[in-house]
Amino acid sequence: MNIQAEKALIIEQFKKVNDANLIHAIKSLLDYALTKEKEDFEVPEAHQKLVMERFEKVRKDPDRLLDWDEAKKSLKVG
């Protein structure tokens, strides 16, 4: 089911709800979601610098990277 169909289904279900507490709870969830969508996600400069430093280390010494499959094996316990 695509997102538009899901939204339509939820709207139809919501129209049948009469519980005031549930309606207020849903409204709070929607208000929270709208607020979060409006917030800009900003990566702190310190984090950006750390990532760039790690890229530079890899660029200078690509052999320092581990193969993912080998790394997974070393992490497995027992």
DSSP structure class, residue 8:
H
In eight-state DSSP terms, residue 39 is S
Which two three-digit tokens encode residue 41?
A: 């996600």
Q: How many CA atoms lie within 13 A of 53 on its CB side?
A: 6
Distance CA 50, CA 53 (A): 5
Instruction: Write the pLDDT tens digit of every residue in 11-63.
Output: 999 899 999 999 999 999 999 988 887 777 788 999 999 999 999 999 999 88
At 77, the pLDDT band (50, 70, 90 cuts) reads low
Is 1's pLDDT higher than 90?
no
